Amino acid sequence: MDALLVTALPNVRYLSGFTGSNAAILLTPREATLFTDPRYTIQSAQECDCRVTITKNHLLPAVESAISRRKLKRIGIERDRLTFQAYDFLREKLPLGVEITPITAAVETLRMVKSPEEITRIRRSVNTNSKAFTAALTRLRPGMSENDLAAELDFQMRRHGAEGSAFETIVASGARAALPHARPTRNRIEPDQLLLIDMGATQDGYASDMTRTVFVGSAKSEWKRRYRAVLEAQLAAIAAIRAGVAAGKPDREARRVLAAHGLDKEFTHSTGHGLGLEIHEPPRIGKKETTILQAGMAITVEPGIYLKDKGGIRIEDTVLVTESGCEILTPTTKDLTVF
């Protein structure tokens, strides 16, 4: 490859430090050039130490002329990030003889193992997220709507130092907890119900991710039993994590435990995912994944069960893979909690 064209903004940020909303990087073995627009003239000079080209119009014509001028022949593009429109433009405008080669997850692969600086940021994000959870739940009252609680959680994230939430906060009460990705609604949180909260902060650019399922008023014994089963599955998955193990292993451990409780059919998603500059990053922690876990990867562990029209339970922590195991970064208790 003579050059790699990086257009995914999290990858641009990872490579250059640039945090703006419109940019691309042309990376050759010798140098990197960041392309952005005049809104970011000052900011790009502050954040990047690579060459910066400010262009008044769209970025791609400037990228195209840089490629032509430097007589670059083989250009890698980010296969699952570049839009079809941009691909079409490059194919049409680049001089004859220039070859465009789609590349999968080149920068994402680099991003899987976090640097000490990145780990510090993820720790901070995780702690902020947990503080926000504790602060918001002191305001939980029966009759409060899911929307109100979600707003309180988001507010507390910012108050405790986050830029915002890493994804739309999930608050699902009662039977709605059976929807793994429920949007909060105007539904009221009533006594003697389950309450599933999945939340994550973005702080210094880095995501955190945590799910807790708590009980409001009281907990029925069948749900207590199910809660203990999911917690056992989550702990078994965590116990299977260490450097050198395939990413499929923790997932299979979680399923094995749930199967022993007759609940594996209710576990309908994978056990976890990497996180960092984005909330979902490689590696995926799923049954058939063969990626080998390495020290410095930050991943989530989040088995869950979902019973239609009844409710659901998920327990999720953010953990850091180490040589001998993993460190659970999330400080929030997983003891069965009744509010």
Binding residues vs Zn ion (CB under 5 A): 198, 209, 211, 300, 316
Q: Which is nearer to Zn ion, 193 or 300 (CB)?
A: 300
Query: Least distance from C-beta 316 to Zn ion, angstroms?
Result: 5
As a whole number of angstroms, the distance between CA 29 and CA 143 comes to 60
The CA-atom distances, in angstroms, between 227 and each of 233, 263, 305, 313 are 10, 11, 9, 7
CB of 30 to Zn ion, least distance (A): 39
Judged by CB, which is closer to Zn ion: 33, or 173? Answer: 173
Contact of 323 with 242, CB cutoff 8 Å: yes
Q: What are phi and psi of 330, to 5 degrees?
A: -70, 120
Nearer to Zn ion, 76 or 276 (CB): 276
Rounded least distance, CB 214 to Zn ion, Å: 15
Instruction: Supply the DSSP symbol for 318.
Output: E
In 182-322, at which residue ranges do the beta strands (DSSP E only) sit? 193-199, 201-203, 206-207, 210-216, 272-274, 281-285, 298-301, 304-307, 311-314, 317-321
Q: Which is nearer to Zn ion, 251 or 316 (CB)?
A: 316
Closest to Zn ion by CB, 165 or 211 = 211
Q: How far is the CB of 263 from Zn ion (least distance, A)?
A: 19
Instruction: Return the SS3 of 167.
Output: coil
CB closer to Zn ion out of 253 and 317: 317
Q: Nearest distance from residue 201's CB to Zn ion, in Å?
A: 11
Is 209 or 266 the residue whose CB approaches Zn ion more closely? Answer: 209
Cα 311 to chain centroid distance, Å, stands at 24
Name the phi and psi angles at 52, rounded to 5. Answer: -120, 130
Distance CA(266)–CA(252), nearest Å, equals 14
251-287 CB burial, b ≥16 within 10 A, e <16 = bbbbbebbeebebbebbeebbbbbbbbbbebbbbbbe
